[in-house]
Structures are given as structure tokens and as C-alpha cells.
Amino acid sequence: MTFAGKVAIVTGASSGIGRATALALARAGARVAAVGRPRGALDAVAAEIAAIVPASPPALTIVTDITGAAAPDAIVGEVVSAAGGIDVLVNAAGIIATASTDQTPDEMWDRMMDINVRAPFRMMRAAYPHLKARKGAIVNVSSVNGLRAFAGVSVYCASKAALDHLTRCAAPDWAPDSVRVNAVNPGVTVTNLHRRGGMDEEKYAAFLERSKTTHPLGRPGRPEEVAALILFLASDDAGWMTGETIPIDGGRHLTCAR
């Protein structure tokens, strides 16, 4: 797979799956626009990209809150101004929080939906005219929770199910313009997601250990493994695929609740 001459926006690029995807796209030849909130982490990603591909144009780093009213148009405008267009959009930013349905406050619902669904929708809409011009591709980072129900994370599950269906609905809307829209549905992947969602180190270590029994392949995933699938879906090799939501979860979606 090659992305030589292509421009890719990756949200949530400061860590986890977003970071791994930004680095993988750069290795494959893309000029990457890394979007996130922590400047230091984004600068580190840009520096790593510069070390990987020193002769290429530098990565763009865009420090912003993607839920801001003007953020999607500003991100797209900056990338198009600097790089000339957009070929790939990867919506990797996301959050998780834990609460049973009856204990979920409105604020948790609103925040989860804002980041996990509304922000990707608005990024897709803002980028669409430029993706149309280049027959580009969108890959949304969803979750196995969008495909299956799990106790204690009902809002997260609902947000990822909504992102999955947004993916499926946008695909036929934009297929006549050769803009493809797909999603990946990771299982437990070793990132900062759950720790940022409130797990301390002891609970997170126990969670990863338990993942060895809840995933048929016997382990949690690595961000680089998910990034590899994202690159395939964004590439010309997947040129006849759109509207797909693909589990990459060590078989987790095949299991019963336990």
C-alpha cells in the first residue's frame, strides 16, 4: 500500500490508535495532519514522523478541541491551505466512561455523544467536498462495543453503534462521488483510553489480564494492528469496499457476555 502524494487527517493523533495510524500513514508516504489537544504529544508525533521520512514535507500539527463549533472547518481549511487537498480522513478521537444506564448523568451522555459521534460527523461533512475532489476515503474508529452489548458502558456502546450506522448511511450517500466510508471495530487495545476514562493503574492491569480470557485469541490488541487495517481501508487496495464495519478484536464479537 502506498500513500505517496496523498494527504491524511488523523484526529486523536496524540496517542493510541490515532498515533499509530498517523505514523503508519507517514511511513506509507502520506503527508499527515495530526489533530489533538496536547501540543507536546503532537509535537512528539511530528518529530517521529520527521525521523521516519526526513525528506518529506513536515507533518502538520493542529492543536484543537474537535468538539468546538468552528473546529472542523478550521482543521479542513488549514490542511487544504497547507497541503492542497485531502485524500484520507481518519476519525480516531474518542472517549469512554463507565456507568450503568440508571447511573448515567446527562453530562456523561452529552460528552460521549459529542466526541464519539457528533465530532466525527462534523469532520466528515467538512472534509467531504475535498475528499470528493480526490475520490478519497474515510475510516472511523469505532469499537466492538458498537456491535455488542456490555454492562456498565451503555452510553459508550450507544455512541459507537451510532458511529457504525453513520458510517453505513454516509457510504451510499457519497458512493456516487467515489468517496468511501468504512469503520474499524477494535476490541480491547492497549492505549490510554480506559485510564483516561477513570481506571487507575491497578484496575487497568487487571482489565488487561482479564482480556486474555474475554478475547478468543487470548490477548488484547496493539494499536499498530488496528492501524494496519485502517491503512488498508483507506488505500486503493480497498477500492471496492464501502459501508463496512469490521471487527478487529481477537474474536471478542463472537463471544457471549461474560
Helix (H, G, I), strand (E, B) or coil at 27: helix
3-state secondary structure of 123: helix
Cβ 28 vs Cβ 3: under 8 Å? yes
Instruction: Give the list of residues 6+ apart from residue 178 with CB closer than 8 angstroms, or none.
Output: 132, 135
Instruction: For residue 13, give the C-alpha cell.
Output: 493523533
156 flagged as catalytic: yes
* CA–CA gap between residue 170 and residue 29 (Å, rounded): 27
Beta strands in the chain (DSSP E): 7-11, 31-36, 60-63, 88-91, 137-141, 180-186, 245-248
User: Residues 3, 128, 156, 174: which is the catalytic one?
Assistant: 156
Nearest to 92 by CA among 200, 205, 203, 233: 233
Q: Which three cell numbers stand for residue 234?
A: 483507506
Nearest CA to 80 out of 63, 62, 56 is that of 62
Please state, as a whole number, how many other Cβ atoms lie within 10 Å of the Cβ of residue 60: 20
Q: What is the set of active-site residues?
A: 156
